[in-house]
Structures are given as structure tokens and as C-alpha cells.
Amino acid sequence: MEKSIRTLEELEAEAKRFVAELAPAKHGASLITLSGELGAGKTAFTKVVAKALGVSAIVNSPTFVIENIYQLGHPMSKFARLVHIDAYRLESGRELAALGFDELLRDPSNLILLEWPEMVADALPPPTVAITLVARNDGSRTISYENKI
């Protein structure tokens, strides 16, 4: 599925739709990968997903800290935690081990949004959904979804 997004309001609406339709994986965490060039909107998408999930904290790119975990305390939430990982600075999937990635993957109450999956592809299971974002010359974005499992 592919969608064109022209405004921040459209991005927020798309994130709400995505979250509403996302069901927890049956075995382990729900892994959502976010691919796209620098500036394509991976972190922007994560921010609006976090907002749609009720995260009130400021959501920034974890480029230097690699991982941020947000508790989702809303009783209607399908997930207990949103795990945001930016793998841009990682050299291989082995570096995910220091983050406790295997343990995070085993917990079905986790929703993991992982930016730059190509950097750690050797350590990733098939994602629940693979998202690709493309920035267009007119300032719009194209979001493509591929369900993997």
C-alpha cells in the first residue's frame, strides 16, 4: 500500500490510521522498520505514531543514544512500550545486543520502530511491517507499507 502525504496534518492522520489498524504480533514484539534517505520523514513518522499512542514526552531521534523507550500507560493501548531505535550509526546487527534487542523482541507488549534497518539487517527477523518513506521535490512524502508476516 502506498500513500502520498502533503502536510503535517495528513501525516498525523496517517499515523493514527496506522496505529488503529496495527495489532500486536502473536509471538514477540511488533517490529516496524522505517527505511528512507536522510530527511525522508522516518523520525517525523515515529513522532506522530508516539503521539497517537499517547506519549506526552518529547520524541527526538535517538541517533546518538541509539534507543529510546516510552512507557504507554493508556489503558486502551495495545502495547505497553514504544521502543524507538535509530540504527544509522551501527555497523552491524551485533551492536543491537548491547541494547537488549533480543529481549525486546521477545516481549509481545513492545512496539519497536526501527530506523535504518539496512544497517542491522543481519540481526533482524522479518518485520511485522516494513515502511519506506520517500521525500518528493514538492515537499510531500510517499509512504509505502509492506506487511511481512
CATH number of 2-147: 3.40.50.300
Cβ(126)–Cβ(29) below 8 Å: no
Residue-range domain boundaries for the chain? 2-147
Q: Which tens digit of pLDDT belongs to each residue from 40-74? A: 888 889 998 998 888 888 787 766 668 899 999 76
Return all residues near 48 (Cβ < 8 A) that are at least 6 apart: 11, 12, 14, 15, 16
E strands, 16-61, are 30-35
Residue from 51, 64, 43 nearest 141 by CA: 43
Q: Which tens digit of pLDDT belongs to each residue from 114-148? A: 999 999 999 999 999 999 999 999 989 999 999 86
- Cα distance between residue 30 and residue 27, in whole Å: 9
Return all residues near 21 (Cβ < 8 A) that are at least 6 apart: none
- Cα distance between residue 52 and residue 5, in whole Å: 17
- The edge-to-edge listing of strands for the beta sheet with 141-147 is 2-5, 141-147, 129-135, 30-35, 110-115, 81-86, 67-71
- Cα distance between residue 32 and residue 148, in whole Å: 10
**Predicted pLDDT of residue 148:** 66
Distance from the Cα of residue 74 to its chain's centroid:
19
Q: Is the pLDDT of residue 75 over 70?
A: no
Q: Against a cut of 0.85, is the pTM above it?
A: yes
Cβ(88)–Cβ(117) below 8 Å: no
